[in-house]
A and B are shown apart, each in its own frame.
Chain A
Amino acid sequence: MTCAHVRSRLSDWLDGGLEPAAARALQAHLAKCSACSRQADELRAMSGLLAELPRLLAPEPMAARVLDRLELEAENRRHALALLFRGFAAARPLMLPSLVPAGLLLVSVLAGVLALDSGPLPEVHFAPGAWSAVPASGTEGNPLFPSADVDLPRETAGLDLSPEVLAGRGEGSVFVETVVARDGTVAGVTVLEGSAEGEEALLAALRQQRYEPVRYRGRRVAVSVYRLISRMECRPEPAHTSYSPTS
Chain B
Amino acid sequence: MGRAGTPRGRAVSKVVERGGRIAMSASEMPLEVQGLAGHAQDRELVTSCRTGDPGAFARLVRLHEGMVFNLAARLLGDTEEARDVAQEVFLQVYRMLGRFEGRSRLKTWIYRIAVNQCHNRRRFWHRRRRDREQALDEGLDARAVLSSADGAGRGPYEEALRQERARRVQAALLQLSFEHRSVLVLREVEGLTCEEVGVALGVPEGTVKSRLSRAREAMRLRLRGLVEEGGRS
Binding site for B on A (CB under 8 A): 7-8, 10-12, 14-15, 17, 39, 42-43, 45-47, 49-67, 69-70, 73
Contacts and interface: CB of A to CB of B under 8 A. Distances in A.
B212 interface: yes
A62 B216 contact: no
B70 A42 contact: no
Given A42-B220, A56-B82, A70 B91 contact: yes
Contact of B213 (A11, A47, A64): A11
Contacts of B223: 42, 45-46, 49
Contacts of A47: 188, 216
A55 B61 contact: no
Contact of A55 (B66, B91, B213, B217): B66
25 contacts: A7-B217, A8-B213, A11-B209, A11-B217, A12-B213, A15-B212, A17-B194, A42-B227, A46-B219, A46-B220, A46-B223, A50-B219, A52-B162, A53-B74, A54-B144, A54-B151, A56-B70, A56-B74, A62-B61, A62-B69, A63-B62, A65-B87, A66-B87, A70-B91, A70-B94
A159 B165 CA distance: 126
Interface of B: 18, 21-22, 24-25, 28, 54, 57-58, 61-62, 65-66, 69-70, 73-74, 79, 82-83, 86-87, 90-91, 94, 140, 143-144, 146-148, 151, 162, 165-166, 169-170, 173, 184-185, 188-189, 191, 194, 209, 212-213, 216-217, 219-220, 223-224, 226-227, 230-231
A51 B191 CA distance: 8
B62 A12 contact: no
* Most A C-beta atoms less than 10 A away, residue of B25, B151, B185: B25
Contacts of B165: 49, 52
Main secondary structure of the interface of A (DSSP, over half): helix
Contact of A15 (B58, B162, B194, B224): B194
A60 B22 CA distance: 10
Contacts of A55: 66, 70, 147
Contact of A58 (B58, B66, B173, B219): B66
* Most A C-beta atoms less than 10 A away, residue of B148, B151, B169, B185: B169
Contacts of A63: 57-58, 61-62, 65
Nearest to A73: B91
A57 B66 contact: yes
B61 A66 contact: yes
A51 B166 CA distance: 10
A165 B146 CA distance: 127
Contacts of A66: 57, 61, 87, 90-91, 94
